[in-house]
Structure 1
């Protein structure tokens, strides 16, 4: 069979130019204009002409004007399949910096307002967000007296710094009533500082001492540093645990049959989990007021624990204690259930003026120089001297730290001074 060779029909415009449908002639010599393309042949064989020098010619005999609803389909994929179908929406990816379905936020990682799991940062959500300034977050277990506070910092928010001058505190107990038993800690907003040795209370705002309206439910309690929480004081005494409600000034025998807290062993503190600790006959005692359970922790001999002083440190989660005649502190690690003894205090025997800041430090007096007190860092186990006091503290004085930023010290003459402390 004979083959034919198709000879394309090429229509050339005369060199003089072609007639423009809108009128006028086009110069046929302008083919090198980059904005103009040559004429092409339509599928029907009709000749198409370029429009104006700034437009490309159409490749079909008819031109459909563009409108706003016209879309361009994406090119075929390499295997020839169509990409017009997008398929199911991909799962959200937390951390890509784009808030997606189910995400409250997404800052591409932890930020001051967004957790790294794409939830909004808030103290109490049980997520520690360091960028938001949180040191801890135990969720519903956060609290004023807890290891993790209600503002998500470890402890009471005192930074360990102190002022360089002591201040006089207005008023006195009157008649030279000694201040031997200041409460174990003073929380922000509490109206009074209580001294249960003489059953007095000091109005912090007014600077006035006055007797507590109700008598003590037990006998003499000379060194009763009560365990303090927001609304109650707790004192172990004579085989019972007594609770004093601050708002109503009423006492309740909360529990009986507990290890004895004698006249010299009535100092008590709260730990970071709501348990009350005191010392009794060669052992530390932990009492859970919610469960009503007592747990003893016997310890080896660390010297005489007469007139035991106690402190709780939330930073190391430890109970710090010692006796009147000792020059060393004993640290009980709650996490490890171990006892250890630290180097002697540079001030010699520690005596009664020992108290906690619930932020990593213990304050204690000096027997060698009665105008000196020291700050003990529980984690580093180092002692730092405080500024000299304006008068001797005497060995039976007591002290208390206020969350509002003061170290209070009361002496045997019923006079109290304070040293400013730094707060976070």
Structure 2
């Protein structure tokens, strides 16, 4: 039986605040701060436990190796791993910080996923995102593809490598709507147009290429322009201003360049669709981006009805909190709120929705090593508690001791999860 499975990224031991993501206001505002990798990973695991507590199926990605020495060698730094890192740290500290990035934890950017009911061959298709617009993420695709092919090696899946060109940032700019997860759906690709103060991360050409690869019906595929105002306000991905689940879209009224056109096209293709457009007079774009209201997980509960899994920051903002109280009291499709503490991720610009990739599939077709249960969560927490750095200050990034610490911590995790083949 096909279900929606959320695959969260385990936050890696090199989690730091180097402010590498242009247009991500939270990342920029915390530049140079001291990060807490151990707390970050434990917060992420607590969020996964909260989702399982709601009766949802939960999976995970393991962090890739850091520093990314292969990428640094491609940039001309020679020698052993430590020599490569030392040379890069001396010659170009920004590039070296990019090689230490733990941003792969935001698995909404790992791939774009089209479930089997939508595709021409009846398989679930996943296209690895190339993340070409941001150097610190552009070197993730190879490791992500290797892990995804292991997770989804069953014939029920088709895994595509990253596009060779055009900026593609995966599921963070993609929504799917359907009467139910296992019913044929409407896939919505959201792209940006260049010209604003921050780069548009998702290219329309990339979105069109992914749709072709996945064998989607053009008549049930929408390409929607993200609002330039939203990008300028700091909504670097669509999932900062809109989220969808089954037949419901929860969005800011300024999320799209042509919201009326989007609503008309969606309801024509899916008449049962419900669009909850939050007015700017109730929640401004600034409040939405500060609180990450829309970077929440909108999920269907096993007993029926929908819940929002929100960052604690949404409860702390009085205007957002007042809106949420009214939303739940309105007797609409969203009936429950679950607040989670992911402060370390939020300070780097990623909320609950950034941390997960949604895959509709039969759990029996997924490599079980990547599916979470309470015992496995305990095992991961023990490794994190014993081996993840407690803090990382900016000056620590150039320390060989930190590089060795990160490699050894990840190796311990792979052994604990029987995933040493990813070493």
TM-score between the two structures when normalised by the length of structure 2: 0.34
- Compare the two structures and name the one with the higher strand fraction: 1
- Compare the two structures and name the one with the higher helix fraction: 2
